[in-house]
Amino acid sequence: MAISGLILTLSPDNRLRDEAMRCLRLDGRVSIGEQQQHRLPIVVDGATRNDDQEMWQRLHEIPGVLFVDVVCVQENSMAMLCDKEVADGTRDSGLSRSCEGET
């Protein structure tokens, strides 16, 4: 699934910043880069389709993380998301009301 390069903006409060680092180190999906003052580059490697969005939400909720920015996403399966039949125009769109992931 997607591999994301993110930047976390960390709180100037040392206690909160340390707590944020502790939380991140506990998560095996996160690789932590070299902190650049208040900005921390990380990479999130999601193992399942749910991971990236769940991770995004979780990062926002960590005390000491002020903001989450995205730098890049490397999507291994991006091509698979393209339905070949539709792309080739060989399948009727059908005007169905459903869409990918709709519940």
Residues at the site binding other proteins, with contacts judged by CB under 8 A: 2-7, 9-12, 31, 33-34, 36-43, 45, 49-50, 52-54, 56-57, 60, 66-67, 69-76, 78-79, 81-83, 86-103
Task: Give the DSSP letter string of 20-83.
Answer: HHHHHHT-TTEEE---BTTEEEEEEE-SSTTHHHHHHHHHHHSTTEEEEEEEEEE-TTHHHHS-
Cα(84)–Cα(41) distance, integer angstroms: 36
CB of 14 to other proteins, least distance (A): 13
CB nearer other proteins, residue 22 or residue 38: 38
CB nearer other proteins, residue 26 or residue 77: 77
